[in-house]
């Protein structure tokens, strides 16, 4: 703590020193010191009077020369007038330069937390891995996944989770970049192409550009009739003036939509039929979110579960973490992952019956 205060004091002195030096130099010029320019112009007036008295200047020439010299003297006097104010300003700067560091230190003592140690990023990252994923913010999940890029750069599922987490954190461009990496690694997955298209739409403020359209068409090719992909394709067709084709796609996917999302799409169809145009951007965004159903939310949960699994690989002596992981895989229907996690946890905690009981309970599907 002493080191901090010494460093803070030195920095304050270094910052204030140029201000104080400049103000001190300026303060040496007092308000009573005469500007040498004024003396020069007074000498010129005296010389003109002397020449006129000796008959070396005519009366008219003397009057003109005296008027010009007088004008210059007045102009020089006006220019020298602010000297006193300039000195006051410099003195004020000197006072501010001295007071600012003192006020900053006093404010920090009362408002800041000088006794609280800094928490390096790696320590924060470790605490996030140890936390329940459901309690983390999107940017924290992004940071956790980013720390695993070197290890999992060839895993398309990792890039998918990173893309979805970035989208959740509001980084549309980063989401699109991650999802492009995912489709390069596994180009036969329709869900990756769909999510890439959605990220591109998000990046362009809900406009469906050519890259996004290509991604949606590829998703539809790999999984014909995919509702979310066909929704966006239909929307682009309507935007391009191909209203009949766009409405045909929407009507085709309507029976396969989640029941809660159908009214929104039906309303959009009715609006386009009546006006020939798409609804407003706000209504469209809401309909798109409904059309996607719970897909994004499920993907975010999956990303958090994978983060928990990665943490347990690094710090496996966490029985509560293993119970949460087994329960999460059970709820998600990931039977193979559940069984693998359950087997590993049972082997690790074979001498702790209370943990084994929790694991067995977590592996049981919820009773309906």
H runs (alpha helix) in the chain? 2-27, 36-53, 59-80, 83-111, 121-130, 138-146, 149-152, 156-168, 172-185, 190-203, 210-222, 227-239, 243-253, 262-275, 281-291, 295-314, 319-332, 335-348, 353-362
DSSP for 65-96, written as a single string: HHHHHHHHHHHHHHHHTTHHHHHHHHHHHHHH
- Determine contact, residues 69/41, Cβ cutoff 8 Å: yes
In the chain, where are the structural domains located? Answer: 2-111, 124-294, 316-362
DSSP 351: T
Q: Is 125 exposed, middle or buried (0-12, 13-18, 19+ CB in 10 A)?
A: middle
Q: Is the pLDDT of residue 106 over 90?
A: no
pLDDT value of position 119: 58
Closest CA to 202 of 170, 236, 229, 178: 170
Cα separation, 321 vs 317, whole angstroms: 9
Q: Is the pLDDT of residue 97 over 80?
A: no
DSSP for 281-306, written as a single string: HHHHHHHHHHHTTTHHHHHHHHHHHH
Q: Count of CB atoms within 10 A of residue 78's CB?
A: 9
Closest CA to 45 of 4, 19, 77: 77
Least-confidence region, from 91-95, 249-253, 298-302: 298-302
Tens digits of residue pLDDT in 177-204: 999 999 999 999 999 999 999 999 999 8
Q: Is the pLDDT of residue 231 over 60?
A: yes
Cα separation, 307 vs 328, whole angstroms: 12
C-alpha dihedral, 266 to 270 to 273 to 276, nearest 10°: -100
Kindly state the average pLDDT of the residues 259-281.
80
pLDDT value of position 10: 66
- Top-tier CATH class for 124-294: mainly alpha
pLDDT band of residue 113 (cuts 50, 70, 90) is: low
Q: Is the pLDDT of residue 45 over 50?
A: yes
Q: Over the range 24-52, which residues count as b (16 or more CB within 10 Å of their CB) and which as e?
A: eebeeeeeeeeeeeeeebeebeeebeeeb
Closest CA to 41 of 80, 71, 1: 71
Tens digits of residue pLDDT in 278-298: 875 334 444 454 455 444 444
Kindly state the average pLDDT of the residues 20-35.
53
* Torsional sign, CA 333, 334, 340, 344: negative
- Which residues fall within 8 angstroms of residue 343, CB to CB, at 6 or more apart? none
Tens digits of residue pLDDT in 4-13: 556 666 666 6
């Amino acid at each position: 703590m002493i080191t901090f205060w010494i460093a803070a004091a030195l920095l304050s002195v270094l910052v204030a020193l140029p201000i104080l030096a400049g103000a001190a130099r300026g303060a040496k010029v007092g308000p009573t010191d005469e500007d040498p320019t004024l003396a020069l112009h007074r000498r010129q007036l005296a010389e003109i009077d002397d020449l006129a008295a000796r008959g070396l200047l005519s009366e008219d020439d003397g009057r003109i020369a005296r008027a010009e010299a007088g004008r210059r003297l007045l102009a020089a006097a006006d220019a020298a007038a602010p000297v006193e104010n300039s000195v006051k300003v410099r003195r004020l700067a000197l006072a501010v330069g001295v007071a600012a560091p003192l006020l900053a230190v006093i404010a920090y003592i009362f408002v800041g937390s000088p006794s609280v140690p800094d928490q390096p990023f790696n320590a924060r990252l470790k605490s996030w891995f140890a936390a329940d994923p459901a309690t983390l913010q999107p940017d924290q999940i992004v940071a956790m996944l980013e720390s695993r890029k070197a290890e999992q750069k060839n895993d398309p599922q990792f890039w998918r989770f990173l893309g979805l987490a970035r989208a959740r954190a509001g980084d549309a461009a980063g989401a699109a970049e991650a999802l492009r990496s995912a489709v390069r690694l596994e180009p036969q997955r329709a869900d990756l192409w769909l999510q890439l298209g959605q990220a591109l739409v998000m990046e362009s403020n809900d406009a469906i550009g050519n890259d996004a359209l290509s991604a949606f068409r590829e998703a539809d090719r790999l999984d014909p009739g995919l509702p979310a992909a066909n929704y966006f394709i239909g929307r682009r067709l309507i935007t391009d003036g191909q209203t009949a084709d766009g409405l045909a796609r929407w009507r085709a996917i309507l029976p396969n939509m989640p029941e809660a999302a159908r009214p929104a799409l039906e309303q959009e169809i009715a609006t386009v039929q009546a006006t020939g145009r798409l609804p407003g951007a706000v209504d469209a965004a809401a309909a798109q979110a409904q059309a996607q159903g719970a897909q994004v939310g499920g993907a975010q949960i999956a990303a958090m579960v994978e983060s928990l699994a990665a943490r347990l690989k690094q710090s496996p002596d966490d029985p509560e973490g293993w119970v949460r992981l087994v329960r999460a895989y059970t709820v998600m229907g990931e039977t193979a992952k559940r069984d693998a996690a359950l087997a590993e946890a049972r082997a690790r905690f074979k001498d702790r019956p209370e943990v084994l009981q929790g694991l067995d309970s977590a592996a049981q599907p919820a009773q309906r």
